[in-house]
Amino acid sequence: MFSVSPVQTITFCDTQIFIKRDDLLSESFSGNKARKFYHFLINEFDDVKLVVGSGSVQANSLYSLSALAKLKGWSLDFYVNHIPSLLKTHPQGNYHAALDNGANIIEIDSEQLALPDMPNLDDKVQLIVQQQYPHLSSEQLLHVPEGGRCQYAKTGIDELGKELLQWAMEQELDKFDVFLPSGTGTTSLYLQQYFAESEINVQVRVLTCSTVGGDDYLIKQFAMLSSRPEYYPTIISDGRKYHFGKLYRQCYEMWQRLGKTGIEFELLYDPIGFIVLEHYLSNRQDDTAIVYIHQGGIKGNETMLPRYQRKFDK
């Protein structure tokens, strides 16, 4: 369904880094969330009428789910905690693109829905799914957890793993490291699991870093998906704890530096990824080839870049 995403090279910190361009998977449906939702794209879900998702109104998953729903002819109800009023009046980025694709983006009104006080968005949406759609059967309603953290994600991530092994064979590599920044850790974990389960003569390590709440949090996320530590990616860190979506001057500077490679990266995960990678490269003892996964998300720059500019370009 997708063509194989290309691998290009950049020079970063005097080191050649291979970039797996998952941002170029396809025109309207690409990047990390396209890999995660690939299962829904390639399999028949004949009875499904409505897909229900949730997350931030700026999330890549909102845009990707809207693209998927459009391709499949499904409706999309996407629940968010809050839509900033400026965004409502001036839609931009993922929110704008999702509206264009016909998504219903719904602000949760806990009082009106008589929801108990609960902090977790997924839990809220679980209740909404049970209460708000009596006319749809369980086959007709597809509920995708926040960020695509579910077993289904494995189908597309296995495909990514397969493409990487194929590439390594063509390059005649018997050893390489894959690096990608994590949110929920779903992608890095399933990728490490894929390599661990493959019967191959290539030694592959998945390296990742946390962009949400530190390393302990990320390990907890891994544990929610798998009880087998041999499937856990190697977490690398620069000793700092990053908070998701927060604006850091170093991140902005790193993003501007990365722009000089001629490839546009995104502003939520990639800057942290490359800051940590730079730290790693300056301390490592080996020269194993490194493949960085460009996981898309460029649409989000339409809202993230103005935020950065307002804060730091005075």
Ligand X SMILES: *Cc1c(COP(=O)(O)O)cnc(C)c1O
Note the residues at the interface with ligand X (CB under 6 A). Answer: 31-33, 60, 147, 181-188, 266, 269, 295-297
Query: What does residue 255 show for φ and ψ, rounded to 5 degrees?
Result: -60, -40
Residue number with CB closer to ligand X (69 or 157): 157
How far apart CA 106 and CA 80 sit, in angstroms, is 6
DSSP 8-class letter at 211: S
Determine the number of helices (DSSP H) and then strands (DSSP E) in the chain. 11, 10
Residue number with CB closer to ligand X (101 or 187): 187
Non-local CB neighbours of 141 within 8 Å, separated by 6+ positions:
48, 49, 50, 51, 52, 129, 133
Closest CA to 61 of 187, 247, 189, 163: 187
Q: How far is CA 114 from the centre of its chain?
A: 32
Q: In which residue are the tokens 């396809």 written? A: 26
Residue number with CB closer to ligand X (141 or 295): 295
Residue number with CB closer to ligand X (271 or 296): 296
Smallest gap from Cβ 130 to ligand X, in A, equals 25
Q: What would the DSSP string read from start to end of 256-309?
A: HHHHTTT-PPPSSSHHHHHHHHHHHHHH-S---EEEEEE---GGGHHHHHHHHH
Smallest gap from Cβ 161 to ligand X, in A, equals 14
Residue number with CB closer to ligand X (136 or 278): 278
Smallest gap from Cβ 298 to ligand X, in A, equals 8
Smallest gap from Cβ 201 to ligand X, in A, equals 28
Smallest gap from Cβ 226 to ligand X, in A, equals 13
